[in-house]
Amino acid sequence: MLNQKCRIKELAKTHSGDYVLSLAVPQRIELYYDDLAEKDLRLELSIWREKRSLNANAYFHLLVGKIAEKAKLGNDEVKFTMVLEYGAVMTDNDGAKVGVKLPSSVDVKRIYPYAKWFDERTENGKAFNCYIIYKQTHTLDTAEMSRLINGVVYEAKELGIETETPEQLARIISLWEAGK
């Protein structure tokens, strides 16, 4: 599967009513051409977002540590809370939110760390808990990571923790988003 940055260059309609979409691809697409030519392919177009930077991740963890210390909580507990409050919900290929239903006897945290309970159901006399799944921080794109960090900055400020100035944050976020 190819997953690469490209730009739409042209769109033309054929006499048969089909459309021809021309894409500019910086990588060496000719290496894949023979394998892909004249085959039915799946096309999914979305706006390209760069992965979040390691600096963004480091700043996130720095603030989580400061919040944990100030609130006298564990780092993992604060990270969990921040991800569920300000993180991104996992979605499938069609954009639908991802959730799971587990027997109530199963501790979801043994399976996946960022799951938020939203309902309890009984089916055939057996109790189940339903959870919405959040993305792990290392999988967030720049926009998602920016939202997470902005939320963590807000929480830190509420506790009187010093953070980057709004100008510094805007500069950092603009650098992360420059690759969009």
**Strand ranges in 25-148 using DSSP code E only, listed in sequence order:** 99-103, 115-123, 126-133
- Compute, in degrees rounded to 10, the torsion defined by CA atoms 128, 111, 58, 179: -80
Domain ranges of the chain: 54-177
Strand, coil or helix: what is 2?
coil
Each residue's pLDDT tens digit, 147-173: 999 999 999 999 999 887 777 766 666
CB atoms within 10 A of CB 57: 17
Q: Is the predicted pLDDT of residue 35 greater than 60, yes or no?
A: yes
pTM score, two decimals? 0.64
How far apart, in Å, do the first and last CA atoms of the chain sit?
21
